[in-house]
Amino acid sequence: MRRWNGWGDEAILYPLPGPALHFLEARLGAGLALTDADFVSLMAQVGKPRLAAHRLISTNPDERLLHARGQSLPDWIALRSGQMGAFPDGVAYPNSDEDVRTLLAFARQGDVKVIPYGGGTSVVGHINPLPDAGAVLTLDMSRMNRMLELDETSHLATFEAGIAGPEIEKQLNGQDYTLGHFPQSFELSTLGGWIATRSSGQQSYHYGRIEALFAGGHVETPVGDMDLPVHPASAAGPDLKQIILGSEGRLGVITRATMRVRRLPETESFFGVFFRDWEKGVEAVRQIAQAGIEVSMLRLSNAMETTTTLALSGKAGLVRWAGLGLGLLGFHGERSLLIFGVTGDRRQARKARQYALEIIRAHGGVMTGTSIGKMWEKSRFYTPYLRNTLWEHGYALDTLETALPWTNVVAAAEATQQVIREGLDPMEEKVLVFAHLSHVYRDGASVYITYLYRRAEDPVETLRRWQVLKAAASEVIVAHGGTISHQHGVGLDHADYLEAEKGPLGMAALGALSRQFDPEDIMNPGKLIKSKYRAEAFS
């Protein structure tokens, strides 16, 4: 059964061994374990629904509570403290395009706001009802979860958009195909959510980001439906798929998607490499990317992430080996871990590994074989469960990410970490912060930052600490020319920073698009595009 106030299956635990807890206490101080609000008490907060009765809509308090929040740190604070705020007034589970069309017509006639809901894994507030939004209906797409067609000649597969990652791979793998889209939220997130937020999978260097995989589909909007035909390429004006990608439910509901799929790879392996410092690793990764070497993944942790990952792994033998073996080779405190993958047929994989290792060795990197790579592969979707354990020990964890040209990567990564590291100094609290390059491109890379701090006894103070750190980091990212979001989307948490990237004219264009597809502003209001941009587009 899925956790209602945390990550994943409630039967899965991520134990924190004693040495790992001592590691955190030495850097942050002892955590404060607090009693969480219980489900029954939170259900008592769910008010009367402000919706007319409808055959497709449930107004049960438990379902409304379960659809009120996502997986952001503010969401966790709300759920665990019981200070929830708003709830949807009803939840619908459409089974077809016709159901979605019927529900949108109902919402438009009654001035009801609509929130499309996939797997509920948003970490930036995509699915949260706003307190002043009026009546809110959440459309849970989980029943639209079938693979409809597999075109083996064209390597195209069509799915209903509510299908989750594991079911996509199960359906495809059974016929020797894969989509290859593996975000960390893979076990819970859905195809429609990936498209609506421009998701990026862990092996996007090989398989492509979601925009490269999305070939076409179908969208239901408040003013009608829109088909996005499948073409391998087109010069027939602007590509309408691009306005649906990243639209975050503001223009309509994605109900079907045709995706570019591949045959299952003949072989796949992940390798561990240590560099003496992060800068040498960054340069090696840049050269691998710009040489066009066909690896499937390059994930480079800085020194603090390398140390923390090893400390929290619970693999005491591995930690000792890393400390002793690398120490003998002259790798000390600043060592940086690279995990890289090779995927494909055996000849291509062997060639890619050989070429990558030539560059790695030229920058002083030491190959450690596949042990660390296998450990990462085994835990790639298990790591988020650590958030549950850390919370119970009194620590809050959050992440943020950006992407920048290579010329800005190192400086932006350090400046962002520094402002987070020092952000709670006025409160005499410490922050543990670390980073990795999670996705690389010929012209730049994504910087993914994780940070932990102690929870306060007052949840309002815990939230305030997050607000201080999030705002400071966002301002540094913008100042360094980074995107406000490489893979998490905009939602509520990044909306204030979008204009810095799009500019006034770009924001007006987005506002005009929103108005075109959703004249009454019923679709996921407040997310991505604030109401003022819709108004300005027609002022």
* Residues in a beta bridge with 448: 401, 436
Q: What is the pLDDT of residue 539?
A: 42
Which band of pLDDT confidence, cut at 50, 70 and 90, is reported for residue 88? very high
pLDDT at residue 247 in the model: 98
Question: How big is the CA angle at 25 (ends 23 and 28), to the nearest 5 degrees?
Answer: 110
- pLDDT for 319 equals 55
Could you report the per-residue pLDDT of 115-174, keeping only the tens digit for each? 999 999 999 999 999 998 899 999 999 999 999 999 999 999 999 999 999 999 999 999
Token readout for 1 is 């059964």
pLDDT digits (tens, 9 = 90+) for 249-270: 999 999 999 999 999 999 999 9
How many C-beta atoms lie closer than 10 Å to residue 53's C-beta?
8
Domain boundary among 351, 380, 409: 380
Structure confidence at residue 310 as a pLDDT band (50, 70, 90): confident
Going by C-alpha positions, the residue among 84, 78, 81 that lies closest to residue 61 is 84
Q: Which amino acid is at 114?
A: V
Domain match, 259 and 271 both? no
- Residues 469, 432: contact at Cβ < 8 Å? no
128 and 152 in one domain? Answer: no
* Residue found under tokens 């019923």: 522
290 domain-assigned: yes
pLDDT at 518 (0 to 100): 97
237/185 same-domain check:
yes
What is residue 190's DSSP assignment?
Answer: B
Domain assignment present for 78: yes
CATH of the domain at 278: 3.30.70.3450
User: Same structural domain for residues 119 and 68?
Assistant: yes
> In terms of domains, do 116 and 85 share one?
yes
Residue pair 344/205 in contact by the 8 Å Cβ criterion: no
Q: Are 334 and 278 in contact (CB under 8 A)?
A: yes
How does pLDDT run across 194-249, given as a tens digit for each residue?
999 999 999 999 999 999 999 999 999 999 999 999 999 999 999 999 999 999 99
Distance CA 114, CA 122 (A): 16
Query: What is the distance between the alpha carbons of residues 365 and 277, in angstroms, rounded to a whole number?
Result: 9
296 and 256 assigned to the same domain: no
- pLDDT(292) > 70: yes
What does each C-alpha distance from 124 to 82, 308, 470 come to in angstroms? 19, 25, 11
Q: How far apart are CA 153 and CA 234, in angstroms?
A: 20
Sheet with 297-301, side-by-side order of all strands: 366-367, 267-275, 336-344, 297-301, 431-440, 444-454, 395-405
Which helix (H) or strand (E) covers residue 197, if one does?
A: helix 191-197
Residue 466 pLDDT exceeds 90: yes
**Is 397 inside a domain boundary?**
no
The pLDDT mean for the chain works out to 94
Q: Look at residue 385 and give its three-state secondary structure.
A: helix
* Domain boundary pick from 119, 140, 161: 140
Q: Which residues of 100-117 are buried (b: 16+ CB within 10 A; e: fewer)?
A: bbbbbebbbeeebbbbbb
Asked whether residue 432 is domain-assigned, the answer is: no
Structural domain contains residue 45: yes
Residue 269 contacts residue 297 (beta carbons within 8 Å): no
Does residue 48 lie in a domain region? yes
Which distant-in-sequence residues (6+ apart) come within 8 Å of 181 by Cβ? 165, 168, 194, 199, 201, 204, 207, 210, 213
Going by pLDDT thresholds of 50, 70 and 90, the confidence category of residue 314 is low
Single out the residue in 214, 232, 263 at which a domain terminates.
Answer: 263
Based on the fold, state whether residues 171 and 215 are members of the same structural domain: yes
Question: 187 — phi, psi (to 5°)?
Answer: -65, -25
CB-side neighbour CA atoms (13 Å) of 78 = 19
Give the span between the Cα atoms of 200 and 510, in whole angstroms.
22
DSSP 495: G
Tokens describing residue 225: 């439906």
Tokens representing 292 are 């066009």
151 and 259 inside one domain:
yes
Query: Do 289 and 315 belong to one domain?
Result: yes
Helix (H) or strand (E) holding 437: strand 431-440
- In angstroms, the CA 184 to CA 191 distance is 14
Residue 456: inside a domain: no
Give the containing element (helix H, strand E) for 303. Answer: helix 303-312
Nearest 5°: CA angle at 247, between 244 and 253? Answer: 70
DSSP 130: P
Query: Are 133 and 204 in the same domain?
Result: no
Residue 113 pLDDT exceeds 80: yes
Q: Clarify whether residues 151 and 85 are in a common domain.
A: no
Domain span at residue 311?
Answer: 267-380
Straight-line distance from the first to the last Cα atom of the chain, in angstroms, rounded to the nearest whole number: 49
Give the DSSP H/E element, type plus range, for residue 374.
helix 371-379
Contact 51, 110 (CB under 8 A): yes
In 10 A of CB 329, how many CB atoms?
Answer: 12
Q: Is the pLDDT of residue 11 over 90?
A: yes
Q: Is residue 329 pLDDT above 60, yes or no?
A: no
- SS3 letters across 243-258: HHCCCCCCCCEEEEEE
Distance in angstroms (rounded) separating the CA atoms of residues 459 and 73: 11
Number of domains in the chain: 4
State residue 173 phi and psi, 5-degree precision.
-60, -35
Question: Does 1 map to a domain?
Answer: no
Same domain, 243 and 271: no
